[in-house]
Structure 1
């Protein structure tokens, strides 16, 4: 069973396409006209697919989870394909651009997925993967302090960003650019570190329900973390130790764009 077949039932409540993230993807794809064909790999409920359709692109959404597809926003102009990144049932050289948003850590075979993405992409066109490298997040941050178990698990599951670049370069035989993305404090796509400036969000079940590493925690473990966080917010411990972050405008949560052009 796909991960989001188990945990993705409330995904649309908190996971909306953030226009700043989408705009970086659009710019990195070097799209210079409408009606170009785009592929969204690991599309989830199609929030980013919908964004690009609204900009005038012809979008195909690839997603393995039936639960996620069933929640897809009604849009007859987006073509849905149930399938995995490792086996994309589409002809070679079909798309003017391919993108994937926070899905690559769910791929079962990253090298095969990159090969498939590259196969479906037209020559001289671009692909973009928005991903995260939890190993670069400061161990002094409050998120790491409270959610250390999440980071430790994620570090073992996510590929280091430099190794990810090397994998793409060797698989696609091309140069890969890494674009850092420090997180603003008002993201509308509520992925794991998006609440870096609002710790009370991590006590909200709606927020938690759209974040796979939190939903995947054992209930007792998550409850213990939330209880400690709630108590520390009430008694001033959190503010005393970490309140300085409230003066910051951005946070490095390890999020990065990987961009390459197919030869």
Structure 2
């Protein structure tokens, strides 16, 4: 994954900017304290890490890609940027007060090992906030109509919600709640389904280059054909019918909030909030 994102990292900052709404939602669930120290796992070029630091919180950013980390250092030298992965962290036991992971879980090679490692470095009563999407959610993207193989490959990478819940509980974390996230029209971070309401986004090569699925060489032929079909459907108005047919209430992405509590309360019922 590091090599793949070394290449992607070259122009990653052009379109992958921290979204203000997502930043505030992370902070709402993380509940950080000014004297604490927090971990952004899979931080990439540090867009979100940097925004959290601007809010007055101390963060460490960890990523396997040296190219990404180099971009992050140029952005903010006051953050501790470290090469590493969710499965192997060069951090002491009980050394961080909280953890955030933004669109990174699908890159972990061993989700059970990763959550155990995150549990190890997290202090008691510390929170972990994961932002991701599930296979069920991704099957509801209208992108499936135009780029079926590309989406199928992307969906295959994603762990299911039950898989993540099991891994989180197995390592000893308590799941506090999950919250569905529906793409907002003014989303600033141009990740995969950012064009949900604005299909024209996908004609922008810079936006595509910042999304691993679109930038992958093996998907280029389907991307070319799919964009041609999308352009035709936009011109004749058919795209609105396609988008309407994919409307659902499953959410486009998901926040999963966990906590390292003193007792084992893993059987607590998970509260689902639909915004």
Scaled by the length of structure 2, what TM-score is found?
0.87
Rounded to whole Å, the distance in 1 between the matches of 2:226 and 2:251 is 19
**1:187-243 deviation digits (Å, cap 9, x = unpaired):** 10111011101111111101101111111242212111111111222233324x246
Q: Is the 8 A contact 1:196 1:251 kept in 2?
A: no
Structure 2: distance between partners of 1:8 and 1:44: 8
Which residue is 1:131 aligned to?
132
Q: How far is 1:2 from its partner?
A: 2.7
Q: In the alignment, does 2:33 pair up with 1:6?
A: no
- Could you tell me whether the CA contact under 8 Å between 2:119 and 2:173 is conserved in 1? no
TM-superposed CA distance for 1:19, in Å, is: 1.5
Q: Flag the 1:76–1:173 CA change in 2: closer, same or farther, 3 A.
A: closer
Decide which moves more: 104-113 or 228-237.
Answer: 228-237
Q: What is the total number of aligned residue pairs between the two structures?
A: 257
Contact 1:131/1:255 (8 A) holds in 2: yes
CA RMSD of aligned residues (A): 2.0
Aligned to 2:114: 113
Structure 1 counterpart of 2:260: 262
- 1:157-203 CA deviation, whole Å, 9 max, x = no partner? 11111221121111224235221111211110111011101111111
CA shift for structure 1 position 118: 1.1
Contact 1:174 1:260 in 2 (8 A): yes
In the other structure, the counterpart of 1:80 is 81
Cα deviation digits, residues 43-72 of structure 1 (max 9, x gap):
000001101100111111001101111222
Indicate the residue corresponding to 2:271 in structure 1: none
Instruction: Quote the residue 2:269 is aligned against.
Output: none
User: Any gaps of 5 or more consecutive residues in structure 1?
Assistant: none
Using a 3 Å threshold, how does the CA distance of structure 1 residues 162 and 202 change in structure 2: closer, same or farther?
same
Q: Which residue of 1 aligns with 2:28?
A: 27
Runs of 5+ unmatched residues, structure 2:
262-275
Q: Residue 125 and residue 107 in structure 1: after superposition, are their counterparts in 2 closer, same or farther (change >3 A)?
A: same
The alpha carbon displacement at 1:35 in A equals: 3.2
Q: Equivalences for 1:1-263 in 2 at 5 Å?
A: 2-31=3-32, 33-72=33-72, 73-137=74-138, 139=140, 142-216=142-216, 217-239=218-240, 241-242=241-242, 254-263=252-261
**Whole-angstrom distance in 1 between the partners of 2:243 and 2:154:** 25
Shift of 1:112: 1.1
Secondary structure of the 1:256 match is: strand
